[in-house]
Amino acid sequence: MSMVGILTAAGVVGLTGILIGLFLGAAGIRFKVEADEREEAVQSALPGNNCGGCGYAGCSGLAGAIVKGEAPVNACPVGGESAGERIARIMGVAAQATVRRNAYVRCGGDCEKAGSHYRYFGAEDCRVMAFVPGGGPKSCRSGCLGYGTCVESCPFGAIRIRNGVAVVDKGSCKACGKCVEACPRKLIALIPYEAKQVVGCMSTDRGPVTMKACKAGCIGCALCVKACPAGAVKVEEFHAVIDYDKCISCGACQEKCPKKAIVVNW
C-alpha cells in the first residue's frame, strides 16, 4: 500500500473517531440526568454494609428510595436511630422513632434437652436437611438443626453454634434479617431489643409429642396465657406466642411456664 493510501486511511479513521466523540459528547449533554445532591449525602450517612436488610439492593438503592420518598428515613436497621436522625436532617424532615431489634433463635433444644433419631454424617448445612430422612437427626421436627447456615449468612459475626443450637449475640446483632431469611425452619425472628421474655420454642406438635422430643419444648398448656395480666400471650399451633405491642415485661408468663420454654432475651 502506498504512503498516500496509508495516510488517507488514517485520516478517515481519525475523522470518524472525532465525529463519534462529538456525537457522544453532545448526547451526554442532551440526555444528562441531574443527580440529586441529597442522594449522595444520604448514602454517606448510611453505614455502607450493603447487607440488604432494608429491602433494597445495598445502601445506594436505599439512598435513592429515601430521596424519592419511597422509603422512610429510618429504614436502615443497621444504622439504627443515629443514622435515621442524620438522614432526617439531610431530608429536612422530623426524625422518626426507631425501635431497635435483635434476632432471636426460637429454640432451646440443645444437645442435652433435645433427642435424636440417629447420628448424621454428611454435609453440615441446614438446607440439606430437607433431603435427609426425617428432616434431619433431631427428634423435634421444628427444632434448630445446628449446622450453622445462619452463622454463614450473618455479615456481622453475631451468631454462633452453642451446644447444638444457634445463639445470637444480642449486642453484635444489627437486625439486618439475613439470618431470618437463611433459616430453613423459620426459627429466627426479629424482636424488640428491650423485650424481656421470649418463647424459645416453635414446635407445632401436640404436647405429648413435644415432650418426647425435647425437654424444653412448649407443650401449649396455656398456663402462660392465663398468667399474663396484659393479655399479651396466646397459643398458636401448639406453642405460645408473645405480642410485644401488649407485653409489659412482668415475667409472669416465664414464671408460670412448667417446661421453662419462656426465657429471658439476653
State the SS3 of 29-53: HHCCCCCCHHHHHHHHHCCCCCCCC
- Output the pLDDT for position 27: 64
Domains delineated in the chain: 44-91 (1.10.15.40), 101-264 (3.30.70.20)
Of 132 and 96, the structure prediction assigns the larger pLDDT to 132
Rounded CA separation 15/38 (Å): 41
Which residue carries 442524620 as its cell? 86
Specify the long-range contacts of residues 145-154, CB closer than 8 Å, at least 24 apart. 145/184, 145/185, 148/124, 149/125, 149/182, 149/183, 149/184, 150/105, 150/126, 150/179, 150/182, 150/183, 150/188, 152/182, 153/178, 153/179, 153/181, 153/182, 154/178, 154/179
pLDDT at 4: 64
Pairing of strands 159-162, 101-105: unpaired
pTM check: above 0.75: yes
Residue with cell 426460637: 106
Of 109 and 50, more confident: 109
The predicted pLDDT at position 96 comes to 80
CA atoms within 13 A on the CB side of 175: 19
Angle in degrees, CA 27, 31, 35, rounded to 5 = 130
Residue 238 confidence class, pLDDT cut points 50, 70, 90: very high
What distance in Å separates the CA atoms of residue 79 and residue 174, rounded to the nearest whole number?
A: 8
**Residue 15 pLDDT > 80, yes or no?**
no
Q: How many CB atoms lie under 10 A from the CB of residue 107? A: 31
pLDDT at position 46, please?
A: 92
Lowest mean pLDDT among 18-22, 103-107, 234-238: 18-22
pLDDT recorded at residue 165: 97
DSSP secondary structure string for all residues of 170-229 = TTT-----HHHHH-TT--EEEEETT--EEE-----S-HHHHHHHBTT------HHHHH-T
